[in-house]
């Protein structure tokens, strides 16, 4: 099966069971680092929002206007229930449909790792276009080079990413200045799971 379909169908089946494990880590420190750089009441895209917890809800509770997109019907169904004040749209993040210079912030946590890495450059270029000049980007990327299909919470899953240095370079070359980058490590979905975070500012 097409890799994208594997990811989409597995998240359709996972829904609540993903959410239950996800909520063991709330990422409040990381979310604060992002929002403190975004003007009050700014417009934020949560790209690959999942069930809206914890990210979309945190952003709404802090007064932002939030649009969440995801390609899984079940994740979106839960997101609408969890965060009724946000707007949720079914959309594939590799084919974004928003005007240029539209968002003050764009956050995408644990999503790009599921997208074929050949598409990462094009994705960051789209992020650059839909963010306003000076807009803030926060993404998690892989902590090492990987391209594989495996098992995740009992479902088939696909991961694809470059090493951190390459991810950083792709973001810079797509029109961003790096503010900060760091690693997190959790005993979460799997033991000693590492993620690479990049906080960046859109160039003019």
Ligand X SMILES: C[S@@+](CC[C@H](N)C(=O)[O-])C[C@H]1O[C@@H](n2cnc3c(N)ncnc32)[C@H](O)[C@@H]1O
Residue ranges that bind ligand X, judged by CB under 6 A:
7, 11, 22, 48-50, 55, 70-72, 75, 92-94, 109-111, 114-115
In angstroms, what is the minimal distance from the CB of 86 to ligand X? Answer: 13
Strand partners, 23: none
**Nearer of residues 78 and 171 to ligand X, judged by Cβ:** 78
Backbone angles phi, psi at 151, to 5 degrees: -105, 140
Residue among 47, 154, 157 nearest 111 (CA): 47
Q: Of 51 and 174, which CB lies nearer to ligand X in the complex structure?
A: 51
The least distance separating ligand X from the CB of residue 22, rounded to whole angstroms, comes to 5
CB-wise, 92 or 184, nearer to ligand X? 92
Q: Which residue is nearest to ligand X (CB)?
A: 50
By the 8 A CB rule, do 19 and 42 touch? Answer: no
Burial classification of residue 176, based on how many CB atoms lie within 10 Å of its CB (0-12 exposed, 13-18 middle, 19 or more buried): buried
Indicate the residue among 129 and 203 with the shorter CB distance to ligand X: 129
CB of 97: closest distance to ligand X in angstroms? 12
Here the tokens at position 11 are 């998240």
């Amino acid at each position: 099966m097409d890799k994208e379909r594997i990811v989409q169908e597995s998240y359709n089946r996972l829904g609540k069971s993903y959410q239950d494990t996800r909520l063991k880590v709330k990422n409040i420190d990381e979310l604060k680092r992002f929002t403190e750089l975004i003007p009050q009441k700014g417009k934020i895209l949560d790209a690959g929002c999942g069930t809206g917890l914890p990210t979309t809800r945190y952003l709404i509770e802090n007064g932002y206007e939030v649009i969440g997109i995801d390609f899984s019907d079940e994740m979106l169904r839960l997101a609408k229930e969890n965060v009724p004040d946000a707007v949720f749209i079914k959309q594939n993040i590799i084919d974004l449909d928003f005007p240029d210079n539209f968002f003050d912030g764009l956050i995408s946590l644990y999503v790009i790792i599921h997208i074929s890495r050949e598409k990462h450059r094009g994705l960051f270029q789209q992020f650059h276009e839909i963010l306003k000049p000076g807009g803030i980007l926060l993404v998690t990327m892989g902590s090492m080079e990987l391209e594989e299909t495996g098992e995740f919470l009992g479902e088939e899953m696909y991961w694809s990413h470059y090493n951190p240095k390459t991810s950083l370079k792709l973001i810079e070359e797509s029109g961003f200045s790096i503010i900060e980058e760091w690693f997190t490590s959790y005993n979460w979905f799997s033991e000693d799971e590492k993620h690479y975070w990049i906080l960046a500012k859109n160039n003019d």
